[in-house]
Amino acid sequence: VLATGASDVLDLDSLLSAEELELRQKVRDFTRQRIKPGIARWYEDAVFPLDLATELGELGVLGMHLEGYGCPGRSAVEYGLAAMELEAGDSGIRTFVSVQGSLAMTAIHTWGSEEQKQEWLPRMAAGEVIGCFALTEPTAGSDPASMATFARRDGTGDDAGWVLYGAKRWIGLASVAGVMVVWAMTDDGVHGFLVPAGTPGVTATPIAQKLSMRASIQCDVVFDDVRLGPEALLPAARGLRGPFTCLNEARYGIAWGAMGAARDSYEAALAYSMDRLQFGKPLAGYQLTQEKLVNMLLEIQKGTLLALHLGRLKDAGTIRPEQISLGKLNNVREAIAIAREARSILGGNGITTDYPPLRHAANLESVRTYEGTDEVHTLILGRHITGLDAFH
Ligand code: TGC
């Protein structure tokens, strides 16, 4: 159910096909069996459970929406449902699936040569090779056009390679990646490059001091005169449309995923409030608690309906970037508010890792920042409705 049992007031499940419901159940079972039992420990110990990569490949959620090359070829709605269930476990695990499928694999699938697709995609879909997507830099976050990482031609002629230098920051999974998709400025604008693990001159260092996304890996990456052959170039990508096309995919998945974290927070608060007695009766029997639960549920049902609408548009091939911005902005913003409100129902117990809401709230601070901050999506929508660009 989109929000379990009596909580699916709008009967949103009736909008899903039998196949979609089956897929969702499969991913929900995986989350219950493989993520929920370990997540508090992984979060406390700041561990990304690498074994999950091949398991998620077997589950069929890596590059889920892509066709061919061993990819599952499922619909946008099915991908969204999977993101929602995985993020009900933890945003860090859903982030791995997004970076792998929506960013790294989409970049290769959309912009790569036939040889690049054959070489990387089947193993990435199986989770045997992890990919990362290096766009953000220490001084270029919301404004990737100002990137300083540069690739210059190494010689002349068709078989000339490249020399890559610069630095990237906040790159998910970079230290465990078998292949990096790196976006760099060239004399001919922004281009994408595939950098295999072990290429001399590349170092990836996990960022340790995180209070969010602790069961995930984000890295600083340095490229120190990295020599690449001509085959490293993603031949079809030209300019920022290359990475932004991939970001559309990831932002779409986030609109669904955030509702998974929200639903898990709500369900934890509902269960706790039914059990916890104060002043002689369950917390759920107090008007103030019921108002909190109902306000959470309103936003979960609305946000899930919004995500589903975006999914149907995407499957119809008509979705536009500003619609994705609306979904990402709204659903992550509401999910954080829901997770925090859920924590308040749990009282002091809510600040421990015994319960998920505060972990979700902390994770969602990253989710509202990456793939376009709240401010970026607000201004994308502002530009859409006014025709005036307030970025520059
Ligand atoms: P602008 O002039 O609007 O566009 C430049 C070119 O890009 C095209 N474009 C898009 N194409 C497809 N989808 C979109 N959503 C697109 N948005 C823009 C545009 O058509 C144009 O193409 P062309 O061929 O005409 O040159 O660019 P701008 O500089 O004005 O854009 C401003 C702004 C703020 C909207 C943009 O820079 C932006 O979206 N900034 C946010 C960047 C962002 O989301 N960064 C996230 C990085 S990835 C990450 O966070 C890692 S998370 C995963 C992990 O853990 O590793």
Cβ atoms of 4 and 267 within 8 Å: the answer is: yes
Q: Is the dihedral of CA 237, 242, 246, 252 positive or negative?
A: negative
Q: Return the number of other C-beta atoms located less than 10 Å from residue 11's C-beta.
A: 10
State yes or no: pLDDT of 3 exceeds 80. Answer: no
Tell me the pLDDT tens digit for each residue of 343-364: 999 999 999 999 999 999 999 9
Of 291, 299, 371, 375, catalytic: 371
Identify the CA nearest to 232 among candidates 391, 108, 141, 376: 108
C-alpha–C-alpha distance, residues 89 and 388, integer Å: 40
Ligand 1 centre to CA of 291 (Å) is 39
- ipTM value: 0.96
Nearest CA to ligand 1 atom 37: 143
Which atom of ligand 1 has the smallest separation from the CA of 132? 56
Regarding the beta carbon of 212 and ligand 1, being less than 6 Å apart is answered no
Which atom of ligand 1 has the smallest separation from the CA of 325? 15
CA-atom Rg of the chain in angstroms: 21
| Cβ density class 203-212: b for 16+ within 10 Å, e for less | ebebeeeeeb
Predicted confidence at residue 1, as pLDDT, reads 44
C-alpha–C-alpha distance, residues 241 and 174, integer Å: 22
Regarding the beta carbon of 135 and ligand 1, being less than 6 Å apart is answered yes
Tell me the pLDDT tens digit for each residue of 62-121: 999 999 999 999 999 999 999 999 999 999 999 999 999 999 999 999 999 999 999 999
Report how far apart, in Å, the C-alpha atoms of 133 and of each of 38, 49, 68, 237, 278 are. 27, 19, 21, 14, 49
Cβ atoms of 46 and 12 within 8 Å: the answer is: no
67 in active site: no
C-alpha–C-alpha distance, residues 119 and 137, integer Å: 28
Predicted confidence at residue 4, as pLDDT, reads 64
Average pLDDT, the chain: 97
User: Cα–chain-centroid distance for residue 316?
Assistant: 22
Q: 191: which strand partners?
A: 184
Tell me the pLDDT tens digit for each residue of 240-273: 999 999 999 999 999 999 999 999 999 999 999 9
Amino acid at 202: V
Regarding the beta carbon of 319 and ligand 1, being less than 6 Å apart is answered no
User: Quick one: average pLDDT of 381-387?
Assistant: 98
Which atom of ligand 1 has the smallest separation from the CA of 251? 44
State yes or no: pLDDT of 13 exceeds 60. Answer: yes
Phi/psi for 148 (5° steps) reads -105, -15
Cβ atoms of 234 and 192 within 8 Å: the answer is: yes
Predicted confidence at residue 350, as pLDDT, reads 98
Ligand 1 centre to CA of 290 (Å) is 41
**pTM for the full predicted model:** 0.97
Query: Ligand 1 pocket: which of 146, 240, 375 to mutate (most atoms <8 Å of CB)?
Result: 240
Predicted confidence at residue 5, as pLDDT, reads 76
Nearest CA to ligand 1 atom 48: 371
Regarding the beta carbon of 130 and ligand 1, being less than 6 Å apart is answered no
Q: For residue 256, give both structure tokens.
A: 């669904």
Tell me the pLDDT tens digit for each residue of 209-243: 999 999 999 999 999 999 999 999 999 999 999 99
Ligand 1 centre to CA of 202 (Å) is 25
